[in-house]
C-alpha cells in the first residue's frame, strides 16, 4: 500500500510503532513558472530561478550552511552559458549547446507534516523546445531540528529520483543537487503527474520543515544520446494513480508486476532501486539469525538475516540477474557528525543498478504478460554451520524497477528461444565465535560471511536487424566480518563487495568495488548517550559501453565523446572520518572530521569480447575535501587537470565545543530495535 510506505520514518532511526497516515490531502501544484531564453549567443541570459524561492527562504541572521554531496559535474545551462555544476564561474571545456533551452519549475513546496501527503503537480513537456537533455535542480533549505528523511520522486508511477535529506542546524542549511535525467527522455516527452514524496513530521522537538524547489531544465545538445524509446515501471501503479508514492515496501509487499511488452523490442534493460530501512538500514552489520540472541542476557537483541543482501530480478519466476547493493549511509547514520556539511556517498542521489534482459526478448516479445519481480535475499542457515542465499529479510526495503526498451520499427516482431540460464549454487562460507566473561555470560561475538556467485544468461534472438546472441554475465564476490565486544557496546564491521557485469553485444561492462569499515562504540546510561565512530569506505565504479544511466562523460568535451575518445569512465570515491556524539542533561555535542576524495576518469578500452581492459585513461575531474566540526577546512578541485574553485583562505574550524542544535536520533549498528533511538522515535 502506498499508505504504508516508508518515508514517514526517519531513515536513520527506528520507529517502534506503525503509523496510520493522516487523511489524504492532495496538494495540487500551485506554482508553474516557465522560462525560456533565446539561443543566439553563448552569453544569452537564462531567466534566473523563480523569485518565489527567495521568499521561501527564511531571512536568516547568518548565511545558511551549505551542505553538499561530492559528485562529478553535470553539464547544464546557466545564466551565462553552459557550465558544469561544480564550476559556475569558469566555463568548462564542454561545448555549448546549439539548440534551445528552457526551464520549468516543477515544485515549490514546504515538506512539514508531509507524511502520507506527497506533493502532487502536473507536468507538460515544453512546447517550444525540441530537447534531448534534461537536468533537475533540487534545492532544499531547512532550519531547526529534524531527522534525515528519504525522498522519492515519481512521474506517474515511475520513480525518477531517490534522494534523502541532510539534518538541519538551528541557523539553517541549504543544498543543491543537480541530476542529469536525460535517460528518462521518453517520460519527459509525455504529460505526467509529478509526485514528490518526502514524508516529514513536525512536533515540539523535531521542528524543521524541508523547503524544496525542483526545477527542470530542458535543452538540446549536439551530442545525441541513445535514450530508451519506452520506459515501463515495476511499481505499485494503483498507488500512483491515486497520487501516492508507488514504491513497494518489501516485506510484506512483493515487488512484482505483470507486464506486456511491445513486440518490437531490440534491446531491454531493467534497473532496480532498492533501499534498506529500519531493521535493514545497516544490513551490513546484521548478524546470522542463529546468533541474534547471543547477548540476550545483557538485554541486547541483534538484527538477523546475516550482513549479506542480494537484490534479485525474476522473469516469470526465473532468476534473470542480481544486484549486490552499495551500503548507503544517510545523514543521521552511525554518528551524525560524519555527515555535515559533506553528506555520505550517494545520499542525495541513490544509484540504480542495471540488469540487461535482452536475452529474454524472445519470451518477453510474445505479446503475453510476464511477471517481472524484484526480491530481497539474505542468508538462510542450514543449522549445520552452512547457509544459502534465500529470499526473506527484515522490515524493510523500498523497491521499484524500470524496464528500459529500445524499439525496432513498428510492425517488426522480435523472436527467439527461451534463454539458457547458468546459475551455479553460490559459494557461502559462514563462521562465528562467541567469547564469554569469567562469570559465563556471552561477552564477545565475531562472525564472518563470504559469498561468491557466477551467473549468466545466453540466448539467440531475431530482431529487425537480424539474428544475434545476446548474453548477460555476472561474477561477484563478497566478504564481511563483524566483531562485537563488551556485549555489543563496540561493533567493528568490515565488508568488501566487488564484481563484474557484462553484456558484450550491447556493449556494456561494469566493475564495482564497495569497501567499508565502520567501528562504533555506543554507551548509554539513564541520563547520557555517547557514540564514537570511525569510518572508512569507498565506491569504485568502472562503466564502459552504453549504460542506461549517465556516467558523467556527457559533461565533457562533446567532440571527445563523439569521436569515441573514451568508451567509459572510472569513478572512484572514498570517505574516511571519525565522529563523536554526546547527549547528556548538561551538554549536546556532535563533532566530527570527514575527508572525501573523488576522481572521474575517462577510459579507452580494448573492446568487449571479454571484460574490457583499460588501454589508457585521462582524469576528467577530481575533488578532495575535508570538513571539521561542520566547517570545510580544505577543498581542492580540478577539471581536466586545471585547478578550479581554489580554497586558499580556509576558515579556521569553529573553536571550542561545537554544540549542534539537532542531536538527531540515530540507530546504532546492528543492535536490536529495543533501545536504539535517541529522543523521540518518530511519529506516533
Ligand atoms: C539550482 O537552483 C538554485 C535555487 O533556485 C540556484 O540558486 C542554483 O544556482 C541552481 N543551480 C544550478 C546548477 O542550476
Ligand atoms: C520554510 O517555509 C516555511 C513556510 O513558508 C517558513 O515558515 C520557514 O521559515 C521556511 N524555512 C526555511 C529554513 O527557509
Ligand atoms: C574538444 O576535443 C577536440 C578533439 O579532441 C579538440 O580538438 C577540441 O579542442 C576540444 N575542445 C575544447 C573546447 O576543449
Ligand atoms: C500520467 O497520469 C495522468 C493522470 O492519470 C494521465 O493523464 C497521463 O496520460 C499519464 N501519463 C503517462 C505518460 O502515462
Ligand atoms: C551465548 O551465545 C550463544 C550463541 O548465540 C547462544 O546460543 C547462547 O544461548 C548464549 N548464551 C546466553 C547465556 O545467552
Ligand atoms: C532472547 O530474547 C528474545 C526477544 O526478547 C526472545 O524472543 C528469545 O526467546 C530469547 N532467547 C533466548 C535464547 O533467551
Ligand atoms: C510474480 O513472481 C513472484 C516471484 O516468483 C511471485 O512471488 C509473485 O506472486 C508473482 N506475481 C504474480 C502477479 O503472479
Ligand atoms: C554465456 O556466454 C558467456 C559469455 O560468452 C559464457 O561465459 C557463459 O558460459 C555462457 N553461458 C551459457 C549458459 O551458455
Ligand atoms: C558477568 O560479567 C560481565 C563482565 O565482567 C558483567 O558486565 C556482567 O554484569 C556479569 N553478569 C552477571 C550475571 O554477573
Ligand atoms: C544492426 O547490425 C549491424 C551489423 O551487425 C550493426 O552495425 C548495427 O549497429 C545494428 N543496428 C542496431 C540498431 O542494432
Ligand atoms: C574499535 O574501537 C574501539 C573503541 O575505540 C577500539 O578499542 C578497538 O580497538 C577498535 N577496533 C578496531 C578493530 O579497530
Ligand atoms: C571539534 O569539536 C570537538 C567537540 O566539541 C572538540 O573537542 C574539537 O577540539 C573540535 N575540533 C576542532 C578542530 O576544533
pLDDT digits (tens, 9 = 90+) for 464-512: 999 999 999 999 999 999 999 999 999 999 999 999 999 999 999 999 9
Instruction: Please name the residue whose Cα sits nearest to atom 6 of ligand 12.
Output: 657
Share of the chain above pLDDT 90, in %: 74
Which residues does residue 467 pair with via DSSP β-bridges, in sequence order? 462
65: left (phi over 0), alpha (psi -120 to 50) or beta: beta
Please list every protein residue whose CB sits less than 6 Å from any atom of ligand 11.
490, 492, 519, 521
pLDDT at 463: 98
pLDDT (average), residues 346-364: 98
Residue that wins the pLDDT comparison between 80 and 620: 620
Above 50 in pLDDT, residue 80?
A: no
Q: Which ligand is nearest to the CA of 287?
A: 5
pLDDT at 62: 67
pLDDT at 272: 98
pLDDT digits (tens, 9 = 90+) for 160-205: 999 999 999 999 999 999 999 999 999 999 999 999 999 999 999 9
Residue that wins the pLDDT comparison between 63 and 610: 610
Distance CA 504, CA 663 (A): 50
CA of 381 to the centre of ligand 5 (A): 17
Closest CA to 259 of 228, 235, 229: 235
Above 50 in pLDDT, residue 674?
A: no
Distance CA 239, CA 457 (A): 33
Above 70 in pLDDT, residue 95?
A: no
The cell for 604 is 579507452
The beta-strand segments (E) located in 437-546 are 442-458, 461-463, 466-468, 471-485, 490-503, 508-524, 529-545
| Chain position carrying cell 513530521 | 201
HEC sequence for 70-92: CCCCCEEEECCEEEECCCCCCCC
Closest CA to 356 of 313, 389, 409: 313
**CA pseudo-torsion sign 441, 393, 475, 326:** negative
Using pLDDT thresholds of 50, 70 and 90, give the confidence band for residue 639: confident
CB 105 within 8 A of CB 214: yes
pLDDT at 224: 72
CB 499 within 8 A of CB 477: yes
3-state secondary structure at position 478: strand
Mean pLDDT of the chain: 84
Using pLDDT thresholds of 50, 70 and 90, give the confidence band for residue 644: low
pLDDT at 140: 98
pLDDT (average), residues 433-448: 97
CA of 646 to the centre of ligand 10 (A): 47
**CA pseudo-torsion sign 290, 294, 297, 299:** negative
Distance CA 556, CA 84 (A): 9
pLDDT digits (tens, 9 = 90+) for 220-240: 887 777 999 999 999 999 999
Above 70 in pLDDT, residue 612?
A: yes
Which residues does 76 contact at the CB level (< 8 Å), separation at least 6? 82, 83, 85, 135, 137, 178, 180, 217, 219
pLDDT at 597: 98
Using pLDDT thresholds of 50, 70 and 90, give the confidence band for residue 422: very high
pLDDT at 19: 26
Question: Is residue 213 in contact with ligand 4, taking CB distance under 6 Å?
Answer: no
CA of 296 to the centre of ligand 9 (A): 13
Instruction: Please name the residue whose Cα sits nearest to atom 10 of ligand 11.
Output: 519
pLDDT at 654: 31
Distance CA 335, CA 143 (A): 20
CA of 658 to the centre of ligand 11 (A): 25
Distance CA 112, CA 552 (A): 34
Instruction: Please name the residue whose Cα sits nearest to atom 13 of ligand 8.
Output: 422
Question: Is residue 369 in contact with ligand 7, taking CB distance under 6 Å?
Answer: no
Above 90 in pLDDT, residue 439?
A: yes
CB 383 within 8 A of CB 245: no
pLDDT (average), residues 18-46: 26
pLDDT (average), residues 587-610: 94
pLDDT (average), residues 387-400: 98
Question: Is residue 373 in contact with ligand 7, taking CB distance under 6 Å?
Answer: yes
CA of 516 to the centre of ligand 5 (A): 28
Above 80 in pLDDT, residue 12?
A: no
Instruction: Please name the residue whose Cα sits nearest to atom 5 of ligand 11.
Output: 521
Above 70 in pLDDT, residue 575?
A: yes
Question: Is residue 471 in contact with ligand 8, taking CB distance under 6 Å?
Answer: yes
| Chain position carrying cell 514524496 | 197
pLDDT (average), residues 291-299: 95
pLDDT at 638: 86
Which residues does residue 633 pair with via DSSP β-bridges, in sequence order? none
Go through the chain and tell me how many residues it has. 684
Question: Is residue 388 in contact with ligand 8, taking CB distance under 6 Å?
Answer: no
pLDDT digits (tens, 9 = 90+) for 38-57: 222 222 222 223 333 443 44
Distance CA 161, CA 164 (A): 10
Using pLDDT thresholds of 50, 70 and 90, give the confidence band for residue 547: very high
Q: What are the two backbone dihedrals, phi and then psi, of residue 53, each rounded to the nearest 5 degrees?
A: -65, -40
Cα Rg, the chain, nearest whole Å: 25
Q: Which ligand is nearest to the CA of 581?
A: 12
Using pLDDT thresholds of 50, 70 and 90, give the confidence band for residue 555: confident
Predicted TM-score (pTM) of this structure: 0.88
Above 80 in pLDDT, residue 28?
A: no
Using pLDDT thresholds of 50, 70 and 90, give the confidence band for residue 389: very high
Q: Which ligand is nearest to the CA of 523?
A: 11
Above 80 in pLDDT, residue 363?
A: yes
Which residues does residue 492 pair with via DSSP β-bridges, in sequence order? 483, 519
pLDDT (average), residues 603-619: 93
Above 50 in pLDDT, residue 442?
A: yes
Instruction: Please name the residue whose Cα sits nearest to atom 6 of ligand 5.
Output: 294
Measured CA to CA in angstroms, residue 298 lies from 90, 519, 670 at distances of: 59, 21, 15
Which residues does 648 contact at the CB level (< 8 Å), separation at least 6? none
The cell for 99 is 539548440
CA of 59 to the centre of ligand 5 (A): 57
Question: Is residue 291 in contact with ligand 5, taking CB distance under 6 Å?
Answer: yes
CA of 283 to the centre of ligand 6 (A): 21
Instruction: Please name the residue whose Cα sits nearest to atom 1 of ligand 4.
Output: 192
Instruction: Please name the residue whose Cα sits nearest to atom 2 of ligand 11.
Output: 519
pLDDT digits (tens, 9 = 90+) for 517-534: 999 999 989 999 999 999
Question: Is residue 156 in contact with ligand 4, taking CB distance under 6 Å?
Answer: yes
Using pLDDT thresholds of 50, 70 and 90, give the confidence band for residue 61: low
Above 60 in pLDDT, residue 89?
A: no
pLDDT at 557: 62
pLDDT at 100: 82
CA of 465 to the centre of ligand 10 (A): 6
Amino acid at each position: 500500500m502506498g499508505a504504508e510506505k516508508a518515508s514517514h520514518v526517519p531513515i536513520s532511526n527506528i520507529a517502534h510503532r506503525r503509523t496510520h497516515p493522516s487523511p489524504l490531502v492532495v496538494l495540487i501544484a500551485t506554482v508553474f513558472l516557465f522560462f525560456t531564453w533565446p539561443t543566439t549567443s553563448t552569453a544569452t541570459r537564462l531567466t534566473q530561478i523563480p523569485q518565489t524561492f527567495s521568499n521561501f527562504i527564511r531571512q536568516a541572521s547568518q548565511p545558511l550552511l551549505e551542505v553538499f554531496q561530492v559528485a562529478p559535474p553535470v553539464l547544464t545551462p546557466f545564466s551565462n552559458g553552459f557550465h558544469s555544476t561544480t564550476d559556475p564561474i569558469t566555463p568548462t571545456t564542454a561545448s555549448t549547446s546549439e539548440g534551445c533551452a528552457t526551464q520549468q519549475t516543477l515544485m515549490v513546496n514546504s515538506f512539514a507534516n508531509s507524511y502520507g501527503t506527497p506533493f502532487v503537480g502536473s507536468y507538460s513537456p515544453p512546447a517550444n523546445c525540441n530537447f534531448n537533455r534534461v537536468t533537475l535542480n533540487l534545492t532544499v533549505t531547512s532550519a531547526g531540528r529534524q531527522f534525515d528523511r528519504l525522498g522519492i520522486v515519481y512521474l506517474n508511477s515511475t520513480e525518477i529520483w531517490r534522494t534523502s535529506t541532510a539534518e538541519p542546524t538551528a541557523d539553517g542549511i541549504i543544498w543543491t543537487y543537480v541530476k542529469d535525467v536525460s535517460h528518462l527522455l521518453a517520460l519527459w516527452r509525455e504529460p505526467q503527474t509529478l509526485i514528490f514524496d518526502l514524508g516529514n513530521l513536525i512536533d515540539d522537538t523535531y521542528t524543521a520543515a524541508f523547503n524544496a524547489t525542483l526545477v527542470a531544465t530542458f535543452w538540446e545538445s549536439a551530442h545525441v544520446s541513445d535514450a530508451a524509446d519506452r520506459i515501463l515501471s515495476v511499481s505499485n501503479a494503483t498507488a500512483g494513480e491515486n497520487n501516492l508514492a508507488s514504491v513497494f515496501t518489501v516485506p510484506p509487499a512483493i515487488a512484482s508486476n505483470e507486464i506486456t511488452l511491445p513486440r518490437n523490442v531490440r534491446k531491454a534493460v531493467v534497473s532496480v532501486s532498492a533501499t534498506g530501512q529500519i531493521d535493514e538500514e545497516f544490513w551490513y552489520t546484521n548478524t546470522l539469525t542463529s546468533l541474534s540472541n547471543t547477548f540476550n542476557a545483557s538485554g541486547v537483541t541483534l538484527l538477523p538475516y546475516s550482513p549479506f543482501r542480494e537484490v534479485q530480478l525474476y522473469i516469470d519466476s526465473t532468476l534473470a540477474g542480481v544486484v549486490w547493493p552499495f551500503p548507503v549511509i544517510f545523514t543521521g547514520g552511525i554518528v551524525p557528525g560524519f555527515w555535515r556539511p559533506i553528506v555520505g556517498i550517494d545520499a542525495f542521489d541513490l544509484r540504480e543498478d542495471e540488469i540487461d534482459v535482452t536475452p529474454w526478448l524472445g519470451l518477453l516479445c510474445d505479446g503475453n504478460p510476464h511477471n517481472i519481480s524484484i526480491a530481497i535475499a539474505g542468508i538462510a542457515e542450514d543449522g549445520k554451520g552452512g547457509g544459502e542465499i534465500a529470499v526473506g529479510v527484515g522490515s524493510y526495503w523500498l523497491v521499484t524497477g524500470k524496464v528500459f526498451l529500445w524499439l525496432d520499427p513498428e510492425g517488426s516482431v522480435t523472436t527467439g528461444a527461451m534463454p539458457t540460464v547458468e546459475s551455479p549454487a553460490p559459494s557461502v562460507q559462514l563462521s562465528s565465535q562467541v567469547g564469554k566473561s569469567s562469570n559465563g555470560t556471552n561477552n564477545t561475538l565475531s562472525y564472518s560471511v563470504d559469498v561468491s556467485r557466477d551467473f549468466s544468461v545466453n540466448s539467440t534472438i531475431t530482431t529487425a536487424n537480424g539474428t544475434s546472441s545476446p548474453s548477460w554475465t555476472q561474477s561477484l564476490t563478497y566478504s564481511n566480518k563483524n566483531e562485537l565486544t563488551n556485549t555489543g557496546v563496540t561493533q567493528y564491521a568490515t565488508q568488501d563487495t566487488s564484481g563484474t557485469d557484462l553484456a558484450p553485444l550491447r556493449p556494456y561492462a561494469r566493475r564495482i568495488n564497495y569497501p567499508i569499515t565502520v567501528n562504533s562504540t555506543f554507551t548509554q546510561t539513564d541520563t547520557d548517550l555517547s557514540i564514537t565512530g570511525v569510518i572508512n569506505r569507498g565506491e569504485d565504479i568502472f562503466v564502459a559501453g552504453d549504460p542506461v544511466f549517465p556516467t558523467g562523460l556527457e559533461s565533457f568535451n562533446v567532440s571527445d565523446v563523439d569521436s569515441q575518445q573514451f568508451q567509459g569512465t572510472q569513478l572512484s570515491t572514498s570517505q574516511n572520518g571519525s565522529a563523536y556524539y554526546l547527549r547528556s542533561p548538561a551538554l549536546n555535542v556532535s563533532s566530527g572530521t570527514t575527508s572525501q576524495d573523488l576522481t572521474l576518469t575517462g577510459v579507452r578500452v580494448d573492446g568487449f569480447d571479454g571484460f574490457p581492459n583499460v588501454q589508457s585513461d585521462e582524469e576528467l575531474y577530481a575533488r578532495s575535501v575535508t570538513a571539521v566540526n561542520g566547517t570545510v577546512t580544505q577543498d581542492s578541485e580540478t577539471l581536466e587537470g586545471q585547478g578550479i574553485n581554489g580554497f586558499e583562505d580556509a576558515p579556521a574550524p569553529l573553536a571550542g565545543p561545537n554544540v549542534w542544535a539537532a542531536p538527531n536520533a540515530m540507530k546504532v549498528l546492528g543492535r536490536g530495535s529495543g533501545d536504539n533511538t535517541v529522543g523521540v522515535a518518530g511519529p506516533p
